[in-house]
Amino acid sequence: MRIALLSDVHGNLPAFQAVLADVDSQSVEEIWCLGDLVGYGAEPDACVQLARERCHLSLAGNHDLVVTGDIPIEDFSSGAAAAARWTQENIGAETLAFLKGLSPADPAREPALYHASPRDPVWEYVLSTWQAAECMDLMEGRVGAIGHSHVALWFHRDGDGQVTGATAEAGLELDLSQGRWLLNPGGVGQPRDGDPRAAWLLLDTSTWRGTWRRVEYPIDLAARAIEEAGLPRMLAERLYSGQ
């Protein structure tokens, strides 16, 4: 099956629309979102509605869970907390009800799915090989997919137990048929790997090949929406640098 894996939309409608247009060009059969449909961006209702229409599966991310009241807003940085409060005050009832029905993990899938990691599906940022190794020890499937860090990454454990990993540049294609893998598609709505383009991962489970894709989108539109909503200006500015 050809699956589009995406994460961290964060209320960025122009980025989400651009990714879905690219997904449509790749003969994808299902679209799976790894969480954080809402967060830093100014169009949460529209993003959730689009996910309801297009995504076959969605997880809950920490930004979704703070909006629903399942985790305390005090656990967030000042900018994230401001965005969470704004989202709580502005989203519709249908959006809130949808978010309340989501879970941060679906480990029985192939690949196994987690918003953040197998050992902490809500909060852990998996950015190192030692973290990935410990997560693979707990992972139910041979291949797992994570989001949360907004960084496109791959980690691999070979037959000798050696774990390697790196950031995934645009266009990288990997053979995932051997060993164990932990994959991050990168962020749709707020990439943090120095590339401001929206990110997603094309995964073919019939051949076990993964291809990381990046998509240009009108950042000005997303930034203007953030500023017009009265959200912190830095949430708009960071979109241009991919940080």
CA distances from 108 to 57, 66, 118, 175 (A): 13, 25, 12, 22
* 3-class secondary structure per residue, 156-214: EECCCCCEEEEECCCCCEEECCCCEEEEEECECCCCCCCCCCEEEEEEECCCCEEEEEE
Cβ proximity of 96 and 69 under 8 Å:
no
pLDDT per residue over 156-183, tens digit each? 999 999 999 999 999 999 999 999 999 9
Q: What is the mean pLDDT of residues 176-192?
A: 97
> At 122, is the pLDDT very low, low, confident or very high (cuts 50, 70, 90)?
very high
pLDDT single digits (tens) 12-45? 999 999 999 999 999 999 999 999 999 999 999 9
pLDDT at residue 71, as a whole number: 95
Is the pLDDT at 140 greater than 90, yes or no? no
Query: In which element (H, E) is residue 154 found?
Result: strand 152-157
Q: Which DSSP symbol is given to 73?
A: G
Write down the architecture of domain 2-241 according to CATH. Answer: 4-Layer Sandwich (3.60)
* 44-92: pLDDT as tens digits: 999 999 999 999 999 999 999 999 999 999 989 888 999 999 999 999 9
8 A C-beta contact, residue 38 and residue 215: no
Mean pLDDT of 139-159: 96
Mean pLDDT of 113-131: 97
Amino acid at 39: G
Tokens of 77: 């940085």
Closest residue by Cα to residue 200 from 88, 55, 101, 77: 55
Q: What is the pLDDT of residue 27?
A: 94
199-228, pLDDT tens digit by residue? Answer: 999 999 999 999 999 999 999 999 999 999
* Cβ within 8 Å of residue 78, ≥6 positions away: 232
Q: What are 229's two structure tokens?
A: 């909503």
The pTM (predicted TM-score) of the whole model is 0.96
From the list 77, 156, 60, 75, the residue with the least C-alpha distance to 114 is 60
Span between the terminal Cα atoms of the chain, in Å: 32
